[in-house]
């Protein structure tokens, strides 16, 4: 597969009439691959950093809400040890496809940021809607029914999610947003297969 940028230009004669079109193609495969995770085809960590910084600036400027969620596949090392790395790769692709299938708005973004970790950026949603959206992803992943016999919380592969929701004028630094989401993920991983959302005032759990 190759990626290309396309520009279609009109061909104009001396009477300024369009006589045809010229399609200019520029190979952008190397650029596309540099921001795409090869295993899952999701945007990678590099793309995540760029998009997060951009969306924080937009939220701050327009005063719109933003939420960052970090998703971690539960007991993934045990899964790899039990079923092998090829099957582990397939499980990650299945989880990635499930996440993609749950995205409904062009202003929401999903990434694989390393190993068994994924990230989702949600914009222009209140805290309750963001929480409901993320909890549906958690439920949909378990509903894939990917067997995980070594898991102590389910017969199937599950994920833990930590998220931080903020009104747009309350945060302007991506490191702060990531740190707070990571703290919420730490709490979610205490029980596993759980969502914890920090919304400035409190931590809200769903399981």
Catalytic hit among 53, 55, 116, 117: 116
Q: Do 121 and 68 meet the contact criterion of CB atoms below 8 Å apart? A: yes
Q: Do 150 and 79 meet the contact criterion of CB atoms below 8 Å apart? A: yes
- CA 162 to CA 130: how far, in whole Å? 12
Q: Do 57 and 39 meet the contact criterion of CB atoms below 8 Å apart? A: no
- CA 115 to CA 74: how far, in whole Å? 12
Q: Do 162 and 56 meet the contact criterion of CB atoms below 8 Å apart? A: no
142 among known catalytic residues: no
Q: What are phi and psi of 186, to 5 degrees?
A: -60, -45
How many H-runs (helices) and E-runs (strands) does the chain carry?
Answer: 6, 8
Catalytic residues: 116
């Amino acid at each position: 597969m190759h990626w290309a940028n396309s520009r279609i230009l009109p061909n104009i004669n001396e009477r300024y009439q369009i006589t045809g079109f010229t399609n200019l193609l520029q190979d952008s495969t190397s650029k596309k691959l540099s921001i795409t995770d090869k295993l899952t085809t999701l945007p990678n960590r590099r793309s995540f950093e760029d998009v997060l910084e951009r969306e924080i600036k937009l939220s701050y400027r327009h005063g719109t809400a933003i939420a960052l969620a970090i998703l971690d596949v539960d007991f993934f090392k045990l899964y790899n040890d039990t079923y092998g790395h090829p099957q582990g790769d397939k499980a990650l692709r299945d989880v990635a496809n499930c996440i993609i299938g749950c995205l409904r708005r062009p202003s929401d973004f999903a990434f694989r940021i390393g190993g068994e970790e994924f990230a989702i950026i949600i914009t222009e949603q209140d805290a309750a809607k963001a929480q409901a959206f993320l909890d549906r992803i958690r439920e949909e992943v378990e509903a894939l029914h990917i067997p995980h016999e070594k898991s102590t919380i389910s017969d199937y592969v599950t994920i833990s999610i930590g998220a931080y929701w903020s009104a747009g004028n309350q945060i302007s630094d991506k490191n702060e947003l990531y740190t707070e989401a990571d703290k919420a993920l730490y709490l979610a991983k205490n029980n596993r297969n759980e969502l914890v959302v920090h919304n400035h005032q409190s931590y809200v759990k769903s399981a």
